[in-house]
Amino acid sequence: MIGTLWKLQIGAFNLGTNACASITNSPFSSASSINRVCGRKTREPKQTMPSLTLFLVVLVLAAAETPPARAALLESFDAQQREFDYFALALQWPGTYCRRTRHCCPTNGCCRGSNSPTVFTIHGLWPDYNDGTWPACCSRSSFDPKEISTLTNALEQYWPSLSCGSSSTCHGGKGSFWAHEWEKHGTCSYPVIRNEYDYFVTALNVYFKYNVTDVLNEAGYVPSNTEKYPLGGIISAIENAFHASPLIVCSKDAVEELRLCFYKDFKPRDCAVGSDIKIDMVTSKGSCPRYVSLPEPVSARYGGLQSWISDDATL
């Protein structure tokens, strides 16, 4: 049933394809430079995806589907962990991220030639605290690729790893990008998200519903290697569409990440937290200049000019 609905949903959705926070209880390092934003909202949220009903049905059914293997995960959530306050959907821009690709490998989404992503792709769905910190590694459960086998095609397309480096996992090992995101962030999404499958299907659904790439394209912010766009204009386009302020991360003058924030019921909310709410983001100390670029995605090809290294090599 879930599988059928999932296919329907993919079909229904026409996809063209720092912050200043510190981790409270994580073995991972934290250092981010992000512009927190806030601003006036002028219009009702624009639904860029038509099938809200279907989206809700998928969410409800995904949450309800808790076979024994998945239910077991619930038991390993850290009962001591303070519950998070809101979600951030972290998206990455391949045009910027892939410019630093020095190696290609079968798992690197940057290296698919003309099939490389041309839309914002998912970095992760992150539970955060209102004070600017976040929980991490909240469960003893390890990532199990079998749990999400029915989602693999969608994840390959919309949540690809954009590097060859293997990622650290919560228990001292190395794993895939998905393993890293589930173990570090997903396990802290309890009780809204109750298992690994739920985490990935929820992130995909939210990503499809709030299609940032479409919003920016419709506002004239199209990928370009020559144009510079006003950061304020990009922010306004997203605020007008979703009625909430995003958070933008740049690498030099290029947009590298864009974060959308949500209450626990997945209604959009501003990403700004605490005293940052008062900061005028365009003049804040964030990483983006007033005019930013949205570089065209490169179409490197695995086996082409770039060298090839094994999956577990670190960049």
Catalytic residues: 123, 181, 185
- Told to check if 105 binds ligand 5GP by CB under 6 A, we report no
Residue with tokens 């006036």: 40
Binding range to ligand 5GP, per CB under 6 A, among 70-78, 119-127, 199-207, 215-223: 119-127
**Binding of ligand 5GP at residue 124 (CB under 6 A)?**
yes
**Tokens (6 digits) for 164:** 């060859």
245 binds ligand 5GP (CB under 6 A): no
For residue 128, give every residue at least 6 positions away whose Cβ sits within 8 Å of its Cβ, in sequence order, or none. Answer: 21, 84, 85, 86, 87, 88, 134, 261, 273
Q: How many CA atoms lie within 13 A of 14 on its CB side?
A: 6
Report CA torsion sign: 32, 34, 38, 44: negative
Region from 68-76, 120-128, 226-234, 236-244 binding ligand 5GP, contact rule CB under 6 A? 120-128
Q: From residue 158 to residue 197, what is the string marking binding to ligand 5GP with x (rule CB under 6 A)?
A: ---xxx-x-xx--------x--x---xx------------
Asked if 21 interacts with ligand 5GP (CB under 6 A), we say yes
DSSP, residue by residue, 184-210: HTGGGSTTTS-SHHHHHHHHHHHHHHS
Cβ distance to ligand 5GP smaller for residue 48 or 108 = 108
Q: Can you tell me whether residue 131 is helix, strand or coil?
A: coil
Strand partners, 255: 250
**Binding residue for ligand 5GP, selected from 123, 194, 209, 269, defined by CB under 6 A:** 123
Q: What are phi and psi of 7, to 5 degrees?
A: -60, -40
The answer to whether 92 contacts ligand 5GP (rule: CB under 6 A) is yes
Report which secondary-structure segment, H or E, holds 268. Answer: strand 268-269
Total binding residues for ligand 5GP by CB under 6 A? 24
202 belongs to the binding site for ligand 5GP (CB under 6 A): no
Binding part of the chain for ligand 5GP, among 69-77, 121-129, 149-157, 221-229 by CB under 6 A, reads 121-129
Q: How far is the CB of 76 from ligand 5GP (least distance, A)?
A: 20
CB of 184 to ligand 5GP, least distance (A): 6
Which residues, in sequence order, are CB contacts of 44 under 8 Å at separation 6+? 243
Contact 294, 216 (CB under 8 A): yes
Question: Which of 229, 232, 227, 210 shows the shortest CA–CA distance to 286?
Answer: 232
Which of 28, 113, 145, 149 forms a contact with ligand 5GP (CB under 6 A)?
Answer: 28
For the CB of residue 87, give the shortest distance to ligand 5GP in the complex, in Å.
9
Query: Is the peptide bond prior to 71 cis by the omega test (within 30 degrees of 0)?
Result: no
Amino acid at residue number 107 = T
By CB under 6 A, tell whether 88 contacts ligand 5GP.
Answer: yes
Site for ligand 5GP in 34-63 (CB under 6 A): none
Residues that bind ligand 5GP (CB under 6 A): 18-19, 21, 28, 30-32, 88, 92, 123-124, 126, 128, 134, 161-163, 165, 167-168, 177, 180, 184-185
